[in-house]
Amino acid sequence: MNTAAATGHHRSTCENCGTWLQGGYCHLCGQSAHNPTRHFGHAVEEIFESFWHLDGRVFRTLRDLFVPGRVANAYLAGHRVRYIAPLRLFVVLTALTFFTAKLVMTPVISVDTDPLPQDAASLAEGAGPAAPPRAAPEGLEESFAALDSVAAVERERAHLLRDLARDDAPRALGFVFAEAQRRIDAAADARILELGAEPTPRATPSPEPADGSDAVAARPAATAADPDGADTGTAETVASGNAFVDRTMRNWERLARDPRAIAQFLFGAAPATLFVLVPLFAVLLRIAYFFTRRPYLEHVVIALYSHAWLMLALLLVFCTSALGDWAGARVPVIGTVLSALVFALVCWMPLYLLWMQRRVYRQAWWLTVLKYLAIGYVYAMLFGTVAVGVIGFSLFTM
């Protein structure tokens, strides 16, 4: 009776778990006694309360993260509600950092710089000046029907095959590429026959092996008309008999033709590498500080906040570097200042980790430096090993 009167218009029991309420929140499941669907004011209040509560935690976590060891020490001391959980913070910052890296740090190069294939170029020698750009019709037949010479048909066929060879779809769909190449050749040959000429015999692409290997590629990269296979100077990969090696090397050759694709690929593989390294880094901390009697999960928290700081610093480096390149072309002084800021951030990253290790574990400086160097050396070797493994696996599955 007294509880019901104290809560006013609130229900006497929790709507979620049925527990008797003793205040504005259920002491068992934590759900609020307010029902936002019953009162418009409560709905607005809940929206703003949630927003400012989250915003406060984000701002406080990022602000305190700039002070080495502050967030980790507070979290391990039990002040967890103030900050974003370490795993969530690490995941969000990692995703944001490498997404930004793909946008601002990937080099911009010309995509379509390949010359015409040799057979199409020879046919086009006597075709006169190139026709002005035209809007591409919807279908293959309409595309070739708009052309009025054999040379133009061959050029159109070559460009379609080139675009097909550059497609980023998985290699397991080789039969799709073989069918697409067959349809392009058939449409081109039909138009050549309509123009009163005899089409050149085409090499029939072999189907994709059933086991998914790339010993015989189904893409049009090996045809005479494919510029990526004939004019780039890159020899076709010789089959080694190992499906993993053949597939990986062929995918790497495809990436090697485009530096922008390499940068995007490496930035895409970096998060997976870090997710593997964080628990390994915690193992190194556990070994180095075995006599501190800290449980392994505390070392995981320290490792997560350490890597979260690295991601935040890299995010600032990427954004500042991109801003410096843009501003430096207009106001050189600003570009110089931002370049110095990037240099300072890069230098501060390892010093921050050393200072954080000293503040969290509270050991003498000389001992902290020795352990820091030992952990850094082993971590660098682990980083190289894991990175090679992740890159190799990503090359195989791309």
| Residue 138 predicted with pLDDT over 80 | no
Answer positive or negative: Cα dihedral of 39, 45, 48, 49. Answer: negative
pLDDT: is 128 or 13 the higher one? Answer: 13
Long-range (24+ apart) CB contacts under 8 A made by 326-332 are none
| Residue 63 predicted with pLDDT over 70 | yes
Q: Are 19 and 13 in contact (CB under 8 A)?
A: yes
| Residue 141 predicted with pLDDT over 50 | yes
Q: Which of 111-115, 125-129, 160-164 has the highest mean pLDDT?
A: 160-164
pTM for this one? 0.58
| Residue 117 predicted with pLDDT over 80 | no
Q: Are 281 and 353 in contact (CB under 8 A)?
A: no
3-state DSSP assignment of residue 149:
coil
pLDDT: is 10 or 359 the higher one? Answer: 359
The pLDDT, as a whole number, for residue 282 is 94
Task: Write out pLDDT tens, residues 26-41.
Answer: 888 878 777 666 666 6
At a CB cut-off of 8 Å and minimum separation 6, what does 215 contact? 209, 239, 243, 246
The pLDDT, as a whole number, for residue 100 is 86
pLDDT band for 112, please (50, 70, 90 cuts). Answer: very low
Please state, for a pLDDT cut of 70, what percent of the chain lies above it: 61
Q: Which residue, 183, 236, 171, is CA-closest to 209?
A: 171
Average pLDDT over residues 253-280: 74
Write a three-state SS string for 287-343.
HHCHHHCCCHHHHHHHHHHHHHHHHHHHHHHHHHHHHHHHHHCCCHHHHHHHHHHHH
Task: Write out pLDDT tens, residues 216-258.
Answer: 344 444 444 444 444 444 444 455 556 666 666 666 666 666 6
Q: Which residue, 252, 248, 279, is CA-closest to 393?
A: 248
By mean pLDDT, which of 6-10, 259-263, 309-313 is the weakest? 6-10
Angle, alpha carbons 379-381-384 (nearest 5°): 110
Q: Tokens for 193?
A: 């026959």
The pLDDT, as a whole number, for residue 123 is 43
